[in-house]
Amino acid sequence: MRDALMEIAFLGLYANPWMMRLGATYRARPQEHNIRRLPQVRDAIRSAEAGGYKEAIVRMLILLARARGSVRRDRLERTNRLLHSRAPFDTMTPDRRARLINEQNMIVEFAGDGAVSSLPVLLRDDVDRVRAVNLVFDIVGPIEEMDGRTIAMFKQLQSTLYTMARGWKEPAPGRSNGVAPGMRIGA
């Protein structure tokens, strides 16, 4: 009985025509979400030029994955092996590795061209630049398996770092994606 009286009182108050009209005139303002204002994103963008070899490697791998639009299983396995077996990644805790990947991902996502243009700052030493480009090339795989966007991004990385990966060969004319015309990749 008490619940019925509460329901009648509620409906009497809020379901009357005046309250219905009041509710109909109220419109919620659309919310604006600018992710760049989040403190984590601002910190990541500010730290685009902070770091060194390991930050540069992870950032280049993310840039190449974004250029391609996806990551093949064999490349994921190669990347995973790298992140667990080679210095300086082998001494990092899983939590630290995850933070590094997340931070570099935010830089690539929100820093725009600054993600690429800041690579020479991360890799000041010419030896580190050559090592980094060769390591990334080993993970990405042969040029014959790259699509056009990946080739373009890898060329941009090499150009930005003023170095060329060992074994790099320019794709033949008419084979901008490393595959003969008419041939499907991944089929």
Measure the CA–CA gap between 156 and 9, rounded to whole angstroms.
70
- Binning pLDDT at 50, 70 and 90, where does residue 60 land? very high
Quick: pLDDT tens for 103-112: 888 899 888 7
3-state secondary structure 28-57: CCCCCCCHHHCHHHHHHHHHHHCCCHHHHH
- Range scoring the smallest mean pLDDT among 41-45, 78-82, 123-127, 162-166: 78-82
Element (H or E) spanning 72, and its range? none
Confidence at 27, pLDDT banded by 50, 70, 90: low
- Say if residue 185's pLDDT is above 50: no
d(Cα 72, Cα 140) in Å, to the nearest integer?
Answer: 9
Q: Is the pLDDT of residue 86 over 60?
A: yes
Q: For the whole model, what pTM was predicted?
A: 0.71
The percent of residues in the chain predicted with pLDDT above 70, rounded, is 87
User: In the chain, where does DSSP find H-type helix?
Assistant: 2-14, 17-25, 39-46, 53-68, 73-85, 94-110, 114-117, 119-122, 126-140, 148-161
Dist. CA 68–CA 147, nearest whole Å: 7
Which of the residue ranges 49-58, 69-78, 80-89 has the most confident prediction, judged by mean pLDDT? Answer: 49-58
- State the pLDDT at residue 119: 92
> Mean pLDDT, the chain, as a whole number?
80
- Bigger pLDDT: 30 vs 26: 30
> If DSSP codes are grouped into helix, strand and coil, which group holds residue 170?
coil
Q: Is the dihedral of CA 95, 97, 102, 107 positive or negative?
A: positive
pLDDT digits (tens, 9 = 90+) for 162-171: 888 887 777 7
